[in-house]
Structure formats: C-alpha cells, structure tokens
Structure 1
Amino acid sequence: MTPIVKELEAALQRGNAHAVFEDAVKDIPYKLLGTVPEGLPYSLWQLIEHIRITQWDILEFSRNPQHQSPAWPEGYWPKERAPAHLSDVKKSVDQVIADRQAFIRLLGKAGDDLHKPFPYGDGQTLFREALLIIDHTSYHTGEIIVLRRLLGNWG
C-alpha cells in the first residue's frame, strides 16, 4: 500500500482532525431521528441516509462503468424525515461502513493507477473520488453533530 493510499485510508476511517461518522451517529435516540429543527431543511435520519446514498454512488461509479447515478438532487435525499424502524438506522450505518471498506479495497488495488482517469466519466480518478468521499462525509458528519447539539443530544 502506497503512502498516499495509507493517508487516504486514514482520512476515510479516522477523520483525522474531524469527528468520525460512527461517533456522530452513535446512540441517537429514535425520537430525535426525524426531528427537523426550525430553519433547517433535514433531519438526522435524512443526513445519515444522504451520506449512505452518496458514498454508495461514488463507490459504484468508481468500480462499475455501467453504473447509473440517482437523479440530482432528489435521488440523494430520502423524502421520509424519520426511519420506518430503528433497525433501519443500524442498516444504514452498517452500509456506510461496508461501502467505505469496499472503497478502501479499491484504493489498495489501484497501485500506480490512483491518478489515472477512468475510461468513462469526464476525467474523474480514484484519488479524486476518495477526496470527494472524505470531504462529503466530514461535511455532513459535522452537520449531524450540530443538529444533535441543537436537539440537546451531544456532548
């Protein structure tokens, strides 16, 4: 594994200077998952699902030239403010973790091709997609933490 891949893996898994996704979503009371504070557009559940959907899309785009992305923006945000069942949250979080691990495996296999543009798309590389996941997840993880603070459920 190259030093760059090791750094990307660390940023994907540990967040470095940011809180990690797993900590941000840990132990959220079910009753708060669908709450949308005044002036904000989404709930905790919608943020968790948005991270899952977006990361899945990036993973599939990176490994499958035939992948069709959801329509933007409606395909990336769940309409439901709350999960139907508490178990849906665990499934979503587990999928974020599993897809992240699958993406890290792609990085490990890339070798010197990390910066080689995909033969499809419009110039994207695996390196760029890794940065996109890191940036996107950390941004929305921060929003989850702020939302939890507004709801009186963080630190």
Structure 2
Amino acid sequence: MDNQHKTLINELSKLLLGGSAHASFSDAVKGLTPQLRGIKPENMPYSIWQLVDHIRIAQWDMLQFSKDADHQSPKWPDDYWPKESEPADEDAWKGSIEQIESDLDEFIELLEHSDIYQPLEHGDGQNILREALQMADHNAYHIGEIVAIRRFLGNWKS
C-alpha cells in the first residue's frame, strides 16, 4: 500500500469514527440518562433510541452490502426505523450500541484490506470508498440529531 493510499484509508477511518469535525457516536450517547432514550421532543419525528437503532440498521446494511453479494437489504423505509420509541430493555440498548461499534470496526477492517476503488460485482457501480463516505455522512447526520435532542432535553455536556 503506497503512502497516498494509506493516508486516504487513515482519513476515512477517522471520518467514520468521528470526533474531529463532529461528536463521535460514543460521545453522542455517553452519559445519556436512560429515561430520555424514548422521548420524542415536540416537532421531532424520532427519539434518541430510534436514531440509535436506525444508525445500527443502516450501518449494518452498508457493511453487509459491501462484503456479501447475496445480502438482501431491509425494505426501505419501513425496516430501517424501529417502530418503538424506546428500547425494550437495557439489553436492547446495549446490544444496539455494541453492534454499531463492532460493525464499524469490521467495516474499517474491510476498508483497510480492500481495493476501495473496485466496483462491487453485485452493485451498480458502488465501491468500498463510496460506501465509506455514505456511512460516514449518514452516521454524522444522525449523530448530530442525537446531540440536538440531548441539548433540547437539557442532557448534553455543552
């Protein structure tokens, strides 16, 4: 791997992990009061739980699409958003967060060991680079919403 490619992979990894230009996912959910996970503030379509689980589902889908030609994506938009405004229990909350973190680690591993420019055989022009940028963009957008809701609810560190 040449230095330019290494630099690109390094920067993509930082972008995916967050924390440079925006809060990381871990920071966005750290210290969140459990009772606030399911609250939908007025004029907001989603609770923090729904945003967290949506990130999990969408990120999982992008990871699976990137590595598995037989992967079938969930039905859009119904299967990308949880219906319940709050997690069923603490295990559901922790499980969603753990999957987000482990899927992100797995995607970064894929990024580091793939030809990121090569179109995926089962796609229609997508490649790992595009999936990395889409994942980073998607996650950052919803992480920002989590932070905004926490601010609105008075539960952000400022």
TM range (shorter): over 0.9
Query: In the aligned structure 2, how far is the partner of 1:10 from the partner of 1:41?
Result: 29
Query: In the aligned structure 2, how far is the partner of 1:5 from the partner of 1:71?
Result: 31
Moved over 6 A (4+): none
Query: In the aligned structure 1, how far is the partner of 2:89 from the partner of 2:32?
Result: 13
Which segments of 5 or more consecutive residues in structure 2 lack a partner in the other structure? none
Contact 1:59 1:103 in 2 (8 A): yes
Question: Displacement of 1:87 after TM fit?
Answer: 2.4
Name the structure 1 match of 2:81. 77
Question: Displacement of 1:91 after TM fit?
Answer: 1.1
SS at match of 1:115: coil
Contact 2:65 2:71 in 1 (8 A): yes
Question: Displacement of 1:121 after TM fit?
Answer: 1.4
Contact 1:15 1:138 in 2 (8 A): no
Question: Displacement of 1:109 after TM fit?
Answer: 0.8
Question: Displacement of 1:14 after TM fit?
Answer: 3.3
Query: In the aligned structure 2, how far is the partner of 1:114 from the partner of 1:152?
Result: 41
Question: Displacement of 1:107 after TM fit?
Answer: 0.7
Q: How does 1:2-151 map to 2 (within 5 A)?
A: 2-110=6-114, 113-151=115-153
Query: In the aligned structure 2, how far is the partner of 1:120 from the partner of 1:15?
Result: 33
AA matched with 2:88: A
TM-score by length of 1: 0.95
TM-score by length of 2: 0.94
Query: In the aligned structure 2, how far is the partner of 1:140 from the partner of 1:20?
Result: 11
